[in-house]
Amino acid sequence: MSVTPEKKAPGVRVSGLSVVYRTPTGELPAISGIDLDLVPGTITGVVGESGSGKSTLALSLLNAVQSPGRISAGSVEIDGLGDVVKLRGEELRKARGRHIGYVFQAAQNSLNPLKTVGKQLLDLGRSHDVADLRGLVREAKDLLGRMGMDGARVLDSHQHELSGGMRQRVGIMFALVLNAHLVVLDEPTTALDMITQATILRIVREVHEERGLTTLVITHDLGVVAEVADRLAVMYGGQVVEQGPTMEVLGAPRHPYTQGLLRAIPRLVGDIDEARALPGRPPTLGTIPERGCVFRDRCVLRMDVCETEKPPVVSLGASIALCHAVEAAADRDGRADIPPAGGLQEVVGAQGATGVHEVRGEQP
Amino acid sequence: MITGKNITKTFRQRGSVLAGREVRALRGVDFAIEKGGAASFIGESGCGKTTLGRIIAGLETHDSGEITIDGTPMSPLKPRQREPYFRRIQLIHQDPYSALNPTRTIHQTLDAPLALRARQTRRPRSWVDERAEELLALVGLDPAYVLPRYPHQLSGGMRQRVVIARALTVDPDMLVADEAVSMIDVSLRLGILGLLKDLRERLGVSVLFITHDVATARYIGDDGELYVIYRGQVVERGHVETIISDPVHPYTQSLLSAIPVLHGLEQPGEQPVVPTEALDESHHDAGCLFARRCPFRTERCESELPVLGRAEGTPQEHACFHPERRSVVATPIGRG
Ligand SMILES: Nc1ncnc2c1ncn2[C@@H]1O[C@H](COP(=O)(O)OP(=O)(O)OP(=O)(O)O)[C@@H](O)[C@H]1O
Ligand SMILES: Nc1ncnc2c1ncn2[C@@H]1O[C@H](COP(=O)(O)OP(=O)(O)OP(=O)(O)O)[C@@H](O)[C@H]1O
Ligand code: SF4
Ligand code: SF4
Ligand SMILES: [Mg+2]
Ligand SMILES: [Mg+2]
């Protein structure tokens, strides 16, 4: 299948997006007021802990949030499709698959156990009015082959005859086979071992480049985004608290959560004690604070204003953080650029002490 | 102290396509775990880690070989005689979500095994509640908060701690933690690892740690031993720090090379090793089990099976004809 010019990598602009879930105690927000741009042709990684709202965000891009949830505010503008939040019925169904390929979380278990992979592929083709079903099968075999599998054998197999890693790759094949140019992968390598994970990430990267895609990879594993993503969005309590180019966010994280998360990663080399657990635990649907900063219960830089005021959006260089302390530091220094590498040590170094002043004290 | 000598296990697959196919899950594995010691098993999916863990916990039988617990060989014993030995080895499942009964409060979950324990040790009933609180405090939880709650009201990290507390109700000598932290959020992971380390140091509980994530193996104690398992064979074994910084077996090197690099914070290792092919358990070769995927294989590797042994010049044991140190692990930027 050749790439038609109008199907080149689309840009995506998520603005003010909120999703609520109905619960016995009323409708509660799972994500609130998210702004996020997917730059055409890039891989964006969304990272965050369990319950931070990653899957909810991914589903929103397809307008596929299911009851008891609903998109309560905001828009998702996709080049060539318009605002998908407004799409309905047949239009929406066609957009999924053709324009937006996706692999849902737990794709390992999302295949139909009663049908072979090949049968499910033909079903998919028919439901999208693919005229050339043989071409579709050829394409699928091709993709599976690229991912190191015997395509013909896989198409003849049932789900239970495939290992976890094989199923993940079958999921990715389904996301790509209709030649969509926006691809959403929710936890594509979770529960896989390192070697299989590395293989899958390499394939994601290769196919992304070859086909000129815009890709969103969702994961709870910072290592995964660090490996594949050009840009990184860090979620906490239903918000994107920091985003920017991967190298910048990891090399000089601004938001106290990003800093804490990076510090909590068990490291392969160096001093074991450099890694520290982040105190406290992530909020859940009912415990996300309504006012102020969602991270304040665990934040060592917390100030009074964090209790009551929504954190401001602070742009620094190419990255953005939502945090009062980051704003205070930026104002004070009167500069909007990124401090040199070592930003992590500067701010984290101050965390043992009480607050923002130490941050200043350590800056050149 | 628990030791295993030459443990083997073969499964016969059912399923339509694979029917009758044999999987040699373990091909003569030796291990030894001291009281209060730590051993970690790492390896690709399907290499036999869980099988070995289950055999050690007495939940799976083996075909041949001998397991010895505190000097007593298990094979001559009747199942009933083995039971008290294996009861002191507790398995912690990887998934704290399914390991706890959702219809029972944490109080109920801990009460049953403790009441049994009280009867066995002739302790008064009042001991049960005291002990429940003690155990929860030991794993870093607030008993008043946790006891009346149901599992779904707790975070993953808290649930995993409850699972560990439940395992401790029988005063085990050893915990077998099979991917016990993989499902736990990153920010909480170190807490659980620290707890396992603590249990070793304070109570002398041995820990057998099964994981995909090599880095976590360092955190249950840097005195631990690392076993790298490939297709049922231990291919490299030694001190955890040695194996991570100076691996000599190409398979270990592939595993370590596959660990994601935190670009921006780390630079990749200089000599990463990537297997030339994907794992295919079905092929049967006379030679090295890794030969088909190994970038460094020679003719000898294809006809002769290397066995685990200590070679000159390396502190660890390995099963490779051409061991060579390679720097494969990513290093922090700015510190070389
Ligand atoms: N169907 C539902 N009904 C009620 N609440 C829900 C539902 N689906 C998700 N939630 C809640 O919304 C919040 C966000 O969930 P979401 O699945 O988006 O998180 P996630 O970041 O993908 O987490 P994970 O890493 O565990 O996949 C969570 O608190 C979750 O409990
Ligand atoms: N009950 C069983 N019946 C048949 N085959 C089995 C059984 N249990 C395990 N196997 C096979 O034995 C091999 C080793 O499995 P095991 O679960 O020990 O691997 P593992 O190293 O724990 O893998 P993972 O990292 O995926 O958990 C695999 O090929 C598996 O398919
Ligand atoms: S300093 Fe305030 S705004 Fe920033 S993360 Fe901490 S609590 Fe939130
Ligand atoms: S024995 Fe040969 S094939 Fe096997 S790991 Fe060593 S070099 Fe590779
Ligand atoms: Mg999710
Ligand atoms: Mg296992």
Query: Do residues B235 and B131 share a domain?
Result: no
Helix (H) / strand (E) containing B124 = none
Query: Per-residue pLDDT averaged across B237-250, rounded?
Result: 95
Which residue did the predictor score with more confidence, A289 or A243? A243
Residue B46's nearest CA partner among B230, B274, B216, B182 is B230
Question: 3-class DSSP state for residue A254?
Answer: coil
Q: Which of A54, A195, A262 to mutate to test the interface with B (most CBs of B within 10 A)?
A: A195
Residue B212 alpha carbon, nearest atom of ligand 2: 25
- Sheet with A313-316, edge to edge strand ranges: A100-103, A182-186, A214-219, A43-47, A231-236, A239-245, A319-322, A313-316
CA–CA dist A153, A170 (Å, integer) = 12
Which tens digit of pLDDT belongs to each residue from A168-185?
889 989 998 998 999 999
Higher pLDDT, A126 or A192: A126
User: Is pLDDT at B141 greater than 80 in this prediction?
Assistant: yes
B237 near B255, Cβ under 8 Å?
Answer: no
Confidence at A351, pLDDT banded by 50, 70, 90: very low
Same domain, B2 and B139: no
Q: What is the average per-residue pLDDT within A255-282?
A: 89
pLDDT at A336: 47
In 3D, which of B188, B142, B148, B192 has the Cα closest to residue B167? B192
Choose the final residue of a domain: B170, B192, B214.
B170
Q: What percent of chain A lies above the pLDDT cut of 70?
A: 88
Q: Is the pLDDT of residue A5 over 60?
A: no
Query: Has residue B94 been placed in a domain?
Result: no
Helices H / strands E in chain A, number of each:
14, 12
Mean pLDDT of A293-313: 95
Residue of B45, B277, B332 with shortest CB distance to A192: B45
* Tally of residues, chain A: 364
Q: Which residue, A295, A353, A352, A351, is CA-closest to A324?
A: A295
B306 lies in the same domain as B198:
no
Indicate if the pLDDT at residue A337 is higher than 60: no
Q: What is the pLDDT of residues B38-94, one digit of tens each?
A: 999 999 888 999 999 999 999 999 999 999 999 999 999 999 999 999 999 999 977
Task: Answer yes or no: is the C-beta of A324 below 6 A from any ligand 3 atom.
Answer: yes
B192 domain residue, yes or no: yes
pLDDT at B189 (0 to 100): 85
Confidence of residue A108 (pLDDT cuts 50, 70, 90): low
CA distance B67 to B60: 12
Report the pLDDT value the prediction gives residue B285, as an integer from 0 to 100: 67
Examine the pLDDT at B245 and tell me if it is beyond 60: yes
Are B233 and B120 within one domain?
no
Interchain pair B190, A266: CB under 8 A:
yes
Determine, yes or no, domain membership for B20. Answer: yes
User: How many domains are contained in chain B?
Assistant: 3
Q: In 3D, which of A39, A80, A38 has the Cα closest to residue A57?
A: A38
Domain boundaries, chain A: 253-353
**What pLDDT sits at residue B310?**
87
CA nearest to B266 within chain A: A251
- Token look-up 């929860």 returns B136
CB-defined site of ligand 2, < 6 Å: A 193; B 11, 13, 23, 25, 43, 45-51, 281
B71 found inside a domain: yes
B264: nearest CB among A194, A251, A278: A251
Phi, psi values for residue A224, rounded to 5°: -65, -45
The stretch B102-110 carries a mean pLDDT of 95
> If pLDDT is split at 50, 70 and 90, which confidence band does A1 have?
very low
Q: Average of pLDDT values for B305-334? A: 90
pLDDT of residue B188: 81
Task: Give the mean pLDDT of chain B.
Answer: 90
Give the mutation target among B11, B12, B209 for probing the ligand 2 site: most ligand atoms within 8 A of CB: B11
- Residue A273: what pLDDT? 86
What pLDDT was estimated at residue A342? 40
Q: In this predicted complex, what is the ipTM? A: 0.85
What is the C-alpha separation between B260 and B329, in angstroms, rounded? 10
Which numbered atom of ligand 2 lies nearest the CA of B179?
27
Question: Are residues B148 and B7 located together in one domain of the fold?
Answer: no
Domain that holds residue B301: 247-332
Residue-wise pLDDT for A214-250, tens only, equals 999 999 889 999 999 999 999 999 999 999 999 999 9
pLDDT at B335 over 70: no
Question: What pLDDT is recorded for position A350?
Answer: 34
Q: Which residues contact B296 (CB under 8 A, 6 or more apart)?
A: B250, B322, B324
**B139: in domain:** yes
Question: Highest mean pLDDT range out of A110-124, A310-324, B170-184?
Answer: A310-324
Nearest C-alpha neighbor of B56 from the set B208, B233, B236: B208
Q: Please, are residues A186 and A218 in contact by the beta-carbon 8 Å criterion?
A: yes
Helix (H) or strand (E) holding B11: strand B2-12
User: Are B155 and B83 in a shared domain?
Assistant: no
- Find the Cα–Cα–Cα–Cα dihedral B172, B177, B181, B182, rounded to 10°: -160
Q: Which amino acid is at B250?
A: P
The pLDDT of residue B174: 96
Which ligand 3 atom sits nearest the alpha carbon of residue A295?
8
Q: Clarify whether residues B177 and B73 are in a common domain.
A: yes
Instruction: Find the CATH number of the domain harbouring B11.
Output: 3.40.50.300
Distance CA A146, CA B211 (A): 28
Q: Residue B96 pLDDT more than 80?
A: no
What average pLDDT does range A286-305 have in this prediction?
Answer: 92
Question: Which has the higher per-residue pLDDT, A352 or A125?
Answer: A125
Average pLDDT over residues B197-217: 92
**Secondary structure class of A208 (helix, strand, coil):** helix
Q: Could you tell me if B67 and B184 lie in one domain?
A: yes
Residue A111 has pLDDT above 80, yes or no: no
Give dist(CA A257, CA B202) in Å, integer.
32
- Token reading at B127: 């001991």
Band (pLDDT 50/70/90 cuts) for residue A193 is confident
Mean per-residue pLDDT over chain A, rounded: 86
Parallel, antiparallel, or unpaired: how do β-strands B206-211 and B225-230 relate? unpaired
In single-letter form, the type of residue at position A123 comes to D
For residues B290 and A330, the model is more confident at B290
B278 assigned to some structural domain = yes
At residue A349, the pLDDT reads 34
- Among the residue ranges A81-85, B63-67, B105-109, B265-269, the one predicted with the least confidence is B265-269
Query: Is the pLDDT higher at B139 or at B89?
Result: B89
Residues of A in contact with B46 (CB under 8 A): 163
Residues 144 to 183 of B: which have CB under 8 A from any A CB? 155-158, 182
Q: How does residue B271 score in pLDDT terms, banded at 50, 70 and 90?
A: very high
Q: Binning pLDDT at 50, 70 and 90, where does residue A109 land?
A: low
Phi-psi region of A53 (alpha: psi -120 to 50; beta: other; left: phi over 0): left
pLDDT tier at A277 (50, 70, 90 boundaries)? confident
pLDDT at site B27: 95
Name the residue with higher pLDDT: B334 or B138.
B138
Q: Which residue of B has its CA nearest to A157?
A: B17
Residue B93 in domain: no
Q: Is B305 in the pocket of ligand 4 (CB under 6 A)?
A: no
Are A45 and A232 contacting, i.e. CB atoms less than 8 angstroms apart? Answer: yes
Tokens 């295919």, residue? B280
Q: Which of B248, B249, B321, B325 to mutate to test the pocket of ligand 4 (most atoms within 8 A of CB)?
A: B321
Residue A364: is its pLDDT beyond 50? no
